[in-house]
């Protein structure tokens, strides 16, 4: 299911850009300094890093070690810029090839195996979920740029799931203390179904649309511009 959804996310974005003229690929997106070409190039570049992780862990570790003293954001930007400078047909072919091969390779990773990454190692399923999240987020930037009204699908459950699961990591990378208590997350799916994470009796709860939650956890919207509502349980007097 997760690999089929990964393919579907990539296919949807490709359907928007495959017939774009050169000027369309060079259109600026909401990410400062990034055009549509940069967005696609970044996805291709990241898929290639994931492929390296899955097929040559030692090579991945060596590359990561060589970059340990550098600026991670610059590393990412340089990868996007290099790809964006390619002829459009070459970039599109590179991205298509990398994402198709990645889905095939991840399907062959043994259950229980962990793949190295820039953060904690991940299972093949977690890697695919992370790729869905990033593909969905960058596709949103492209959709906004091209004024495409994207209809949310059930595939965003993967994005919401990783957003919930990485709560503690989000606190840690900001140097904040991780809350001891668990949160309850109740999100309304695109089809009206309720998606739930966390214990029923959690003192803190968040409700709202899954779509807005996904936009928030991928840093595509300010929390004040969402329909998400925080709830704090009060003690009975």
Q: What is the pLDDT of residue 237?
A: 42
Establish if 145 belongs to a structural domain.
Answer: no
Establish if 144 belongs to a structural domain.
Answer: no
- Give helix then strand counts, H and E, for the chain: 10, 4
- Return the CATH number at 38: 1.20.120.450
65-81: pLDDT as tens digits: 888 777 878 889 999 99
Q: Is residue 102 scored above 60 in pLDDT?
A: yes
Establish if 167 belongs to a structural domain.
Answer: yes
Lowest pLDDT segment from 22-36, 101-115, 220-234: 220-234
Are 27 and 100 members of one domain? yes
Establish if 37 belongs to a structural domain.
Answer: yes
Are 113 and 62 members of one domain? yes
pTM passes above 0.85: yes
Are 15 and 124 members of one domain? yes
Q: Are strands 204-209 and 194-197 parallel, antiparallel or unpaired?
A: unpaired
- Count up the domains in the chain and report the number: 2
Q: Is residue 236 scored above 80 in pLDDT?
A: no
Q: Is residue 169 scored above 90 in pLDDT?
A: no
**C-alpha dihedral (107, 2, 55, 45), degrees to nearest 10:** 140
Are 167 and 56 members of one domain? no
117-162: pLDDT as tens digits: 988 899 999 999 999 999 999 999 999 999 999 999 999 999 999 9
Are 127 and 23 members of one domain? yes
Are 122 and 215 members of one domain? no
Give me the domain span that covers residue 164: 159-232
Q: What is the DSSP string of 34-93?
A: -BHHHHHHHHHHHHHHHHHHHH-HHHHHHHHHHTTTS-HHHHHHHHHHHHHTS-HHHHHH
Per DSSP, the three-state class of 231 is strand
Are 74 and 182 members of one domain? no
pLDDT band at 234 (very low <50, low <70, confident <90, very high): low
Are 128 and 170 members of one domain? no
Which stretches does DSSP call E strand in the chain? Answer: 183-188, 194-197, 204-209, 229-232
Are 73 and 27 members of one domain? yes
């Amino acid at each position: 299911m997760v690999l089929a959804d990964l393919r579907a996310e990539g296919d949807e974005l490709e359907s928007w850009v495959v017939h774009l003229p050169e000027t369309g690929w060079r259109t600026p997106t909401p990410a400062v300094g990034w055009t549509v070409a940069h967005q696609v190039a970044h996805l291709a570049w990241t898929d290639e890093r994931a492929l390296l992780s899955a097929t040559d862990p030692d090579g991945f570790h060596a590359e990561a070690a060589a970059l340990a003293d550098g600026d991670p954001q610059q590393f990412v930007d340089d990868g996007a810029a290099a790809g964006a400078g390619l002829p459009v047909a070459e970039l599109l072919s590179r991205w298509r090839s990398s994402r198709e091969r990645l889905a095939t390779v991840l399907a062959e990773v043994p259950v229980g195996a962990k793949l190295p990454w820039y953060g904690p190692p991940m299972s093949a399923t977690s890697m695919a979920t992370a790729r869905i999240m990033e593909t969905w987020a960058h596709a949103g930037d492209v959709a906004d740029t091209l004024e495409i009204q994207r209809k949310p699908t059930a595939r965003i459950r993967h994005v919401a799931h990783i957003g919930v699961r990485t709560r503690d990591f989000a606190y840690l990378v900001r140097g904040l203390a991780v809350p001891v208590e668990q949160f309850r997350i109740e999100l309304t799916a695109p089809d009206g179904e309720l998606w739930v994470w966390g214990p029923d009796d959690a003192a803190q709860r968040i409700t709202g649309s899954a779509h807005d939650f996904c936009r928030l956890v991928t840093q595509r919207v300010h929390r004040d511009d969402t329909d998400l509502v925080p709830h704090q349980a009060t003690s009975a007097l």
